[in-house]
Amino acid sequence: MKAFGAWIGSIAFLLFVPLIFLVPYFIYLGVSKQLPSAEALPQDKTFLLLSIVGVVPAHLLTLLLAWILVTSWRRRPFGQTLGLSWPAGIASWKAVSFSFLVAILLLGVGVLITNLLGGGKTDLDKLIESSYQARIATAIVAILTAPFVEEVIYRGMLYTALEKVAGMGWAIAIVSFLFAAVHVLQYKNNIGVILAITILSITLTVVRALSGKLLPSIVIHLIFNGLQSLYLILEPFMSKPKEIQPAPALIDLYRSLHHLLF
């Protein structure tokens, strides 16, 4: 129950904390009589940037919730309970090298799949293309918080709980599905990206199951995101910027609030 509570909490934080984080900006726009319409909001670079930055406090709250549930308020060690170490008998350099190779392989498979299947721009693409600052913010989130927080919730808490009650096979299947499913809305316009995320999820969960430790999955996820973030930062210097389109989920909610409040 604690693991599923942490999972539900993580989703709730991601849905609502960025919106709360935007409230001061909306107040400022309202006071200065510059509040844009819902149709104009997708062109507001500050709004788009803050919606990305708001993921950081959401991740930090998720980590705090996980720490409380895992340690039962400091009654158990957090890292030892989750398995934040390398498998016994394997040198650190070998484990890191293995993680790097797996991450490279996953990136290669992802690029191949997305090129073969194609697909439209995702909501994340639209946010990233809004400004170079948004690219930097996305890269920071992808490297500093996302790998650790997501692995703690999915491969740390959820997998451990499910393995005890359903066995390794079902635990791998359920955790892999849940991780991929949470990302479907974000990448709904691109089946290739969804499939690549699903393969990533399965691989990370299998590594967690076979190694018996969480650290390998975290490092693979970190390297995977880190390499993509490097490309994300360098990509504007290699191609022309593309036209930005709205991010539907945030825009629809803003439109509802705008009509309700103003």
How far are the Cα atoms of 101, 129, 154 from residue 179, in angstroms, in the given order?
Answer: 22, 25, 7
The CA R_g of the chain, rounded to the nearest whole Å, is 19
Q: Report which residue type is found at 163.
A: E
For residue 85, give every residue at least 6 positions away whose Cβ sits within 8 Å of its Cβ, in sequence order, or none: 79, 213, 215
pLDDT for 249 equals: 53
pTM: 0.86
What does each of the 262 residues of the chain score in pLDDT, given as a tens digit? 789 999 999 999 999 999 998 999 888 888 887 877 777 777 788 888 999 999 999 999 999 999 999 999 989 999 999 999 999 989 999 999 999 999 999 999 998 998 888 777 777 787 888 889 999 999 999 999 999 999 999 999 999 999 999 999 999 999 999 999 998 877 877 888 899 999 999 999 999 999 999 999 999 999 999 999 999 899 888 765 444 444 555 555 544 444 433 3
Place of tokens 């909501």: 123
For residue 225 the two structure tokens come to 């995101």
Please state the domain extents for the chain: 2-261
Cα–Cα distance, 104 to 107 (Å, whole number): 5
Cα–Cα distance, 245 to 148 (Å, whole number): 30
Cα–Cα distance, 169 to 194 (Å, whole number): 22
Place of tokens 């390499």: 227
Nearest to 194 by CA among 209, 175, 179: 179
pLDDT for 183 equals: 86
Nearest to 142 by CA among 26, 53, 217, 74: 53
